[in-house]
Amino acid sequence: MKKQVTWTTEEWNDWRWHQKNRVRNLEQLEEWVDTTADEREAFEKTDAVFHMGITPYYASLMDPVDPNCPVRLQSVPSLAETKISNWDLDDPLGEEADMVVPGLTHRYPDRVLFYTNHNCAMYCRFCTRKRKVSDPTSMTNKSAYENLFQDLAEHPEVNDVVISGGDPLSLSDKRLMVIFEELSKIPHIKYCRLGSRNLVTLPQRVNNDFCDMLKHYQSRNLSIFFNTHYNCPEELTDEAWDACDRVAASGTPMNNQMVLLKGINDSVERVSELNRKLLQMRVRPYYIYQCDLAEGVSHFRTSIAKGLEIVKGLRGHMSGLASPHFVVDAPGGGGKIPLSPNYVVGMDEGSLMLRNFRGKVYRYPETELQLSSLTPECLHDKI
């Protein structure tokens, strides 16, 4: 076993120690794994654009000798990142175009995306926001926060705020408290979704103090949800489970948004294993995201057909609670588009012909549509 780094129990349980001791260069990486020539060259070529940053906790999950370890693939640079495909975009979701004030994207009628900062405990190599994440000069500052709360107060149609980044849990509890306090004061804000990968990459951050804060701000006027993204079963450690227990005890529901990644979770078996355990941990598998068209991540991207195959392999074979929606976030700001295998196989004499998860076809009467005037495609659109 490679590990050359040492720590005390007190240090290991202290999230600030992990942040301070993140793996940021090759020398530090070599204390954890036997680096390959590809990884070394990739680090030299990519670090100026998108830094490497791995918490000791996440580094401890890497296989020291296998460069294809799913944890390692998500955190250590690869030369494939230097290849930009024709489809790749700097801002794949068109988030900047919908930014109404700095730090606030308003695309959907009733909800907004709030970028708290651009730091993360770990920099995921497949990140959609590479264009600004890991760049300390692109932070949301105090006056931007003030403008942003002002804008929210002036938009009564907004009732849901997604608190994102970077990772909001890179901020201190004191800063997070200010955010929750300000949101609580705006009567039309009813929900807020805290989007953080710290449950995966730094569960020590999700400590009792933080969870007490969540509990404090949960109210009938403001419901707080914790959205995270576990991507593979190797990330579901005892420490992660303990952190999820703390969040659950605070009364905060948790959802998982898995990104579909080649070589990491692109099979029914891998996703089933992940989702079954997540459900035990009280984290509901909510979305499977098709990997966005961000620059330098095409090596992670699977076909859409692969996503549909996985959804088909889950639906009916395991609890509906563990069968997430598969979505493509449309390039250029089109928003999330759900995709599903087609279970409507046709129609016959006023009935829909529906296929179940075992492939058996059943007849169900349709009473409202004028079936004779519909093709199977537009029928599918209507239901």
Q: Phi first, then psi: give them for residue 5, nearest 5 degrees.
A: -85, 140
The bridge status of strand 335-339 relative to strand 104-105 is unpaired
> Is-catalytic flag, 108?
yes
Smallest distance from ligand SF4 to CB 308, Å: 23
For residues 73, 96, 200, 11, the Cα torsion angle rounded to the nearest 10 degrees is 100
Residue 167 touches ligand SF4, criterion: CB under 6 A: yes
294 strand-pairing partners: 89
Encoding tokens for residue 135?
Answer: 């760049």
**What burial class does residue 290 get, using C-beta atoms within 10 Å of its C-beta: 0-12 exposed, 13-18 middle, 19+ buried?**
buried
> Is-catalytic flag, 191?
no
Smallest distance from ligand SF4 to CB 196, Å: 7
Smallest distance from ligand SF4 to CB 210, Å: 17
Encoding tokens for residue 169?
Answer: 């849990």
x/- letters, 101..120, toward ligand SF4 (CB under 6 A): -------------------x
**Residues 238-297 close enough to bind ligand SF4 by CB under 6 A:** none
Catalytic residue among 40, 107, 190, 312: 107
User: Looking at 61-69, 126-134, 183-191, 250-258, which segment touches ligand SF4 (CB under 6 A)?
Assistant: 126-134
> Is-catalytic flag, 315?
no
What whole-number distance in Å separates Cα of residue 116 and Cα of residue 148?
Answer: 10
Residue 166 touches ligand SF4, criterion: CB under 6 A: yes
What are the E-state strand segments in 86-231? 99-101, 104-105, 111-115, 160-164, 191-195, 223-228
Radius of gyration of the chain measured on its C-alpha atoms: 22
Catalytic residue among 58, 69, 72, 111: 111
Encoding tokens for residue 85?
Answer: 């495909």
Catalytic residue among 69, 127, 211, 232: 127
What whole-number distance in Å separates Cα of residue 175 and Cα of residue 141?
Answer: 12
What whole-number distance in Å separates Cα of residue 366 and Cα of residue 18?
Answer: 58
Smallest distance from ligand SF4 to CB 118, Å: 8
The tokens 């004499």 sit on which residue? 349
Sequence-distant (6+) residues with CB within 8 A of 20 are none
Residue 124 touches ligand SF4, criterion: CB under 6 A: yes
> Is-catalytic flag, 120?
yes
Q: Is 140:103 a contact under the CB 8 Å cutoff?
A: yes
Smallest distance from ligand SF4 to CB 258, Å: 12
x/- letters, 62..101, toward ligand SF4 (CB under 6 A): ----------------------------------------
Alpha-carbon distance values, 218 to 186, 211, 215, 308 (Å): 14, 11, 5, 36
> Is-catalytic flag, 192?
no
> Is-catalytic flag, 360?
no
What whole-number distance in Å separates Cα of residue 120 and Cα of residue 197?
Answer: 8
The correct pick among 129, 132, 246, 270 for binding ligand SF4 (CB under 6 A) is 129
The correct pick among 62, 71, 104, 133 for binding ligand SF4 (CB under 6 A) is 133
Smallest distance from ligand SF4 to CB 124, Å: 3
Among 356, 188, 206, smallest CA distance to 281 is for 206
Residue 206 touches ligand SF4, criterion: CB under 6 A: no
For residues 360, 265, 318, 341, the Cα torsion angle rounded to the nearest 10 degrees is -30
> Is-catalytic flag, 124?
yes
Catalytic residue among 232, 291, 329, 343: 329
Q: Is 282 left (phi over 0), alpha (psi -120 to 50) or beta?
A: left
Catalytic residue among 69, 120, 192, 244: 120
Catalytic residue among 57, 69, 123, 124: 124
> Is-catalytic flag, 129?
yes
Instruction: Please count the residues of this chain forming the interface with ligand SF4, following the rule CB under 6 A.
Output: 10
Nearer to ligand SF4, 231 or 272 (CB): 231
Smallest distance from ligand SF4 to CB 195, Å: 8
Smallest distance from ligand SF4 to CB 60, Å: 18
The catalytic residues are: 107-108, 111, 120, 124, 127, 129, 292, 329, 336
Contact residues for ligand SF4, defined by CB under 6 A: 120, 123-124, 127, 129, 133, 165-167, 197
